[in-house]
Amino acid sequence: MHQVKKYLSLVIVVVLFQLKGLCQNIDSLKIALKNAKHDSSKCLTLKLLYKTENDNNLKMELVKQRLKIAESNLPNKNQILSIFFLKQKAASLNNIGAIYYSQSDLSMAIEFFKKSLKIREEIGDKSGIASSLGNIGIIYNDQGDITNALEYYYKSLKLHEEIGDKSGIASSLTNIGGVYENQGNINKALDYYYKGLKIYKQIQDKTGISSLLSNIGFICNKHGDIPKALEYFSNSLKIQEEIGDDLGIANSLNNFGDIYSYKGDIPKALEYYKKSLKIREEIEDKTGIVESLNKISDIALKKGKVSEAFVLSIRGIQLAKELGFPENIKNSATTLKKIYQKQNKYKEAFEMYELEIKMRDSINNQETQKAAIKKQMQYTYEKKELETKAEQDKKDAIAKAELKQKENERNYFIGGFGLVLVLALFILRGYKQKQKANAIILEQKKFVDEKQKEILDSIHYAKRIQTALLPSEKYIEKSLKQMRKS
């Protein structure tokens, strides 16, 4: 099993490496897809093709093809392959949700996001779960359900922090900052935006950088700091053009239109708004289309072209109601209210005023502000708890290591002392044995000495006897002399 896992991982790495080298060439990717022998390779190639495609219809075809391949390999007896294809299925469902979201079909988008989330939770794909939570939070935010939006945003942020996903952390910070911006809490919004921007710069995520530069520039423009706003918008547009981000370019053109509108240069503002509208219609950005229609309608009204403004505004509010975005509906209702006032249609104007207030309150009321504060406090508390736990775990680990070291030192001392004791006993035993041997030798020497003394004493005794029995030389000599005389 381990060998299968190792082999599969190696295959995936090699395939990804090869495909990334081809990702700049769509034709090469199509050839790679045609020649792919394994379904895992096909899924990965389709993933890259999806990322290179801008047309939503073609994107949908690619992602459905990837989904079909993934489902055809499920269930799978091989656990590793099973998880791989479940991840492919979840990613495909998430991509379908993203396509529906880009088409402003929120009900279908959230349906597919939740299907994707369910699979990711079943297989424990934390990165995928965090991504799905963030996507669902965006839907709730667009629908004006701020409480649920914050719930999902903070869950996503917490999980991204847990797994160390910097891109995900920055994305969550951006989303939460957007909620505070809509509520008018600019300082809080900027705090989150700057934190997100710092992370995006660290990981060199150009799309994220350009998006946040645009958000910060929008706030600067809203508060009259035109030079700063222009600086942020220009830097954002430069990056968007570099990476070919059509949606971002359309947003930046709209932002420049706001700058010129604020400065009173209406022709220049209208030029940028129309350029933005054209791109938004090409990429089917319905939310952006509503915004552009509303701004162009407002300019037409200022120029006294009430009929033209009315046509544009009606188209905008119908699309806004179709989308169900409170922010878009509010802005469209505000413009249409002014038009009805110009037309002396006060009943209709009052209806638009009521709709404007209703949508405004759904975005920014005390309940949602309290929810934002509550979620912020809960997140801060839980984060502090995790930090405290991590710090305590660190202290416990250090204390455990120190205790282990002391135990080792004690064990080394006991072992060393025992070794010395054994050595001392061995030496003592040797010393005693030596003493005993010496005593035996002394005893033997004493015995030998005694025996030697006995022998010598016997010899001396015998000699004395012999001496006593034998005549002395003088006696013999005397006797010889007497014999000669006679």
Does 352 fall in a domain? yes
CA separation for the pair 176, 178 (Å, rounded): 5
Does 208 fall in a domain? yes
pLDDT for 61 = 94
CA separation for the pair 481, 468 (Å, rounded): 22
pLDDT for 381 = 46
State pLDDT tens for residues 377-417: 555 545 555 555 566 667 667 777 777 777 777 777 777 77
Output the six-digit token pair for 203.
Answer: 């990981």
Does 463 fall in a domain? no
Contact between 205 and 246 under an 8 Å Cβ cutoff? The reply is no
Residue 124, sorted as left (phi over 0), alpha (psi -120 to 50) or beta, turns out to be left
pLDDT for 472 = 58
Output the six-digit token pair for 282.
Answer: 């090409």
Higher pLDDT, 23 or 438: 438
Phi, psi of 447 (to 5 degrees): -65, -45
Q: Which of 332, 334, 306 is nearest to 319 (CA)?
A: 332
Model confidence at 274, in pLDDT bands (50, 70, 90)?
Answer: very high
Q: What does the pLDDT average to over 120-130?
A: 95
Model confidence at 480, in pLDDT bands (50, 70, 90)?
Answer: low
- Among 154-163, 196-205, 471-480, the minimum mean pLDDT is found in 471-480
Domain range holding 262?
Answer: 185-284
Does 130 fall in a domain? no
CATH of the domain at 310: 1.25.40.10
Residue 239 and residue 337 in one domain: no
Residue 316 and residue 269 in one domain: no
Higher pLDDT, 301 or 19: 301
Residue 16 and residue 66 in one domain: yes
State pLDDT tens for residues 154-166: 999 999 999 999 9
The CA distances from residue 486 to 371, 481, 482, in Å, are 167, 9, 6
Query: Is pLDDT of 446 > 80?
Result: no
Does 422 fall in a domain? no
Percent of the chain at pLDDT above 70? 79
Query: Is pLDDT of 8 > 70?
Result: no
Q: Which of 346, 363, 380 is the last residue of a domain?
A: 363
Residue 346 and residue 330 in one domain: yes
Residue 265 and residue 314 in one domain: no
Output the six-digit token pair for 218.
Answer: 């929008």
pLDDT for 147 = 86
Domain count, the chain: 3
Higher pLDDT, 462 or 388: 462
CATH of the domain at 39: 1.25.40
Query: Is pLDDT of 122 > 60?
Result: yes
Q: Which of 72, 98, 124 is the last residue of a domain?
A: 124
Residue 279 and residue 296 in one domain: no
Contact between 218 and 255 under an 8 Å Cβ cutoff? The reply is yes
CA separation for the pair 219, 210 (Å, rounded): 15
State pLDDT tens for residues 55-99: 888 999 999 999 999 999 999 889 999 999 999 999 999 999 999
Output the six-digit token pair for 211.
Answer: 């998006």
- Among 66-75, 99-108, 451-460, the minimum mean pLDDT is found in 451-460
53: exposed, middle or buried (C-beta count within 10 Å: 0-12, 13-18, 19+)? middle
Residue 221 and residue 314 in one domain: no
Percent of the chain at pLDDT above 90? 46
Does 353 fall in a domain? yes
Residue 41 and residue 117 in one domain: yes
Residue 299 and residue 235 in one domain: no
CA separation for the pair 156, 166 (Å, rounded): 12
183: exposed, middle or buried (C-beta count within 10 Å: 0-12, 13-18, 19+)? middle
Residue 273 and residue 352 in one domain: no
Does 255 fall in a domain? yes
Q: Which of 335, 308, 331, 306 is nearest to 321 (CA)?
A: 331
Residue 206 and residue 261 in one domain: yes
pLDDT for 184 = 84
Model confidence at 2, in pLDDT bands (50, 70, 90)?
Answer: very low
pLDDT for 256 = 93
Higher pLDDT, 423 or 378: 423
Residue 213 and residue 307 in one domain: no
